[in-house]
Structure 1
């Protein structure tokens, strides 16, 4: 499974395997009881601390992407933005989307070729799927 987290496309493979590898700091019993509200708070806190976490902490980000895919199976893309004047995690904006696999595959190839940038992502995803966006802001 491919998942777009801000500026990076992650190949999650089998989501359950990613979540069960022991890296994520939650016991498996909490995966089922984690609400979307708690997940949103977790994402906002992580992006508030490090808005570039997809680049700076790819393994942690990969696990968060797997957790999103598990708890919100319709989502395969996240745009998380911390404004420059953010005073706390509540100021971080989140958008989720369900992006067609053909677009994610195209972005994955562009990433592998070193040609993926925010302009390409905005053009291919966020500008095209506005009718499918679900804002958690």
Structure 2
């Protein structure tokens, strides 16, 4: 399964199997996530590491799996901490179901070079209502 987290597409394979592998790698992780707690986890991670840049790969993979597992049909999420954000509640989030063909193209493109956040925003988030 492909999952877009901010401006990176991750291949999380089978989310339940991948989550079992990486669950201990993210802060705030526990075995009984709900839709809301999954979003709160993403917000807290985005607050502590804008753009998830300092979150290890396995932590980002686990977050993608938790979001996919608790939000049926969701394969994309964006979390943005505005300047001056002091709490996870200040972080803006959005979840979506993106066409698989688009995620596949983006995944191929990022094998050559990192995806441009502006392009991801125009291609995905501005088109989804």
* TM-score (normalizing by structure 1): 0.83
Confirm whether residue 72 of structure 1 aligns to residue 102 of structure 2: no
Q: Closer, same or farther in 2 for the Cα pair 1:37/1:56, shift >3 Å?
A: closer
State the alpha-carbon separation in 1 of the partners of residues 53 and 99 from structure 2.
21
Measure the CA separation in 1 of the matches of 2:33 and 2:58.
Answer: 20
Deviations, residues 47-80 of structure 1 (Å, cap 9, x unaligned): 1111121564222011110111111122100110
Instruction: State the match for 1:135 in structure 2.
Output: none
CA RMSD of aligned residues (A): 1.6
Q: Which runs of 5+ in 2 are unaligned?
A: none
The alpha-carbon distance between structure 1 residues 43 and 56, as it changes in their structure 2 partners (threshold 3 A), is: closer
Q: How many residues align?
A: 125
1:11 corresponds in structure 2 to 11
Matching residue of 2:40:
41
Structure 1 runs of 4+ off > 6 angstroms? none
Q: TM-score, normalised by structure 2?
A: 0.88
